[in-house]
Homo-oligomer: A and B are copies of this chain.
Amino acid sequence: METHLQQQLESLKSALLSMAALVEEQIARSITAHVERDIALCELVIGGDQPIDAMELEIDDQCIRLLALQHPIARDLRFVASSMKITIDLERMGDIAVNIAKKTKQLAGMPQLKPLIDLPRMADLSQSMVKDSLNAFVRGDEQLAMDVCARDEEVNQLQDQIYQELLTCMTEDSGSVPQAMQLIFISRHIERLADHATNIAEGVVYFSEGRVIKHHAADDPNQPPTRPESGGPA
């Protein structure tokens, strides 16, 4: 029985890794497509979301079967529960990649604004958080997970700077409004990738230790910052 449970847990982990790899690829492509204004790559991203959606459903099924038939406990049970939550973040990150590709397509038909220095930096940082949160999950590396949570604040600050820069741009030149709006939306999408990476990292600490770090930053100065409220620009 024990062996069968372990096999099923390994199979679940492997399915999550496949889903994560697809999501990482979609994110990387959407950001490259944005930087290089590559419409063909945008289309590839937009068409590439379906397998991710399908994997979310498959993994949920796998978790339900595992719970029904194997009755995992303690760390194994927390791993399965975390997996069901992580698929939500992965699926939504996949949607965000599609949204970045759609906004990039809209931008491509407009005159180009001056390049934003902070946007590629913010994209790199968010991508590294996504990658590291997934690595932390696979290895059960709590330290790496805490490190991911700590980086979220930097992404929020960069987004703030980008927003202020684009706001100035729009007030000084109303002709720039349509492009600036698309860039604001893209920067918000990138910031939300970092939020989802933070959610995953919080889940890693939970399944490793049964310890909850989200929502608790104010209680303990040694904890990394909690995730920001979803959505709003900082």
Contact = CB atoms under 8 A, between A and B. Distances in A.
Q: What is the interface of chain A mostly: helix, strand, loop, or mixed?
A: helix
23 contacts: A49-B229, A53-B214, A53-B215, A63-B81, A64-B78, A67-B67, A67-B77, A68-B73, A71-B71, A81-B84, A85-B88, A95-B230, A95-B231, A96-B230, A99-B229, A102-B229, A102-B232, A167-B181, A171-B174, A171-B178, A181-B184, A185-B233, A192-B230
A64 B81 contact: yes
Interface residues of A, number: 50
Given A81-B84, A229-B98, A232-B99, A175 B181 contact: no
A151 interface: no
A77 to B, nearest CB: 6
Give the top 7 A-B pairs by smallest Cβ distance, nearest first.
A99-B232, A53-B215, A95-B229, A174-B174, A170-B177, A95-B230, A171-B177
A184 B167 CA distance: 13
